[in-house]
Amino acid sequence: MNKELRKNDNVGWKRGDVRLVCCGGRFFADAMLGKLARWMRVMGYDVLYERYIEDRDLVERALKDGRVILTRDTLLMKRRKVGGMGFFIEADTLPHQLRQVVHSFPIDRKCLLTRCLICNIPLESVTKVLVYEEVPRYVYNTQEEFTRCPACRRVYWRGTHREGMVKTLNSILGGTVY
């Protein structure tokens, strides 16, 4: 269901130009957008983020990997190399930033919590017995489904933290998105 990517003048991608669905879109958030990158990962977006990266390195890596650059930096947006691969985040606050991203890059709600929040790697299902030593006893006794990041080995499960994230996202995005 992905539509063709089209360049829109010199300002990068705008609403209507890109339809990236569930893990099909690839992004690189600049150093100003760490919270946005993390919440986008919560929603299932593929978002690279490095706190200490030079703009030129970010641009080179994003272009090499075919990633849309998310930025609040107007100078970064004006770089010739960025061309149509930049997406300017207009808002200062996280709720407004998330609304702008979801409005411009819709995502499938099935993608919620399918990526490691630390590594950005897609999570893999693991059997309960494999996480016995890695999760609190109460969690092991009350949960049946677990996922793990193949890179950092962090284990995830459907706990109250998930409910809190869903509640926050629904509040920010308006309604029952998840």
Backbone angles phi, psi at 143, to 5 degrees: -115, 150
The predicted model gives 140-144 an average pLDDT of 95
Binning pLDDT at 50, 70 and 90, where does residue 149 land? very high
Distance, CA of 118 to CA of 63 (rounded, Å): 22
Distance, CA of 6 to CA of 68 (rounded, Å): 12
The residues pairing with 28 across neighbouring beta strands, listed in sequence order, are 48, 69
pLDDT at 173: 87
**pLDDT > 70 in the chain, percent:** 85
Distance, CA of 104 to CA of 99 (rounded, Å): 9
pLDDT at 9: 34
pTM across the whole model = 0.82
Residue 44 has pLDDT above 70, yes or no: yes
The predicted model gives 100-106 an average pLDDT of 90
Residue 169 has pLDDT above 50, yes or no: yes
Binning pLDDT at 50, 70 and 90, where does residue 176 land? low
pLDDT at 21: 38
pLDDT at 109: 82
Q: pLDDT digits over 50-102, tens only?
A: 999 999 999 999 999 999 999 999 898 888 888 888 999 999 999 999 999 99
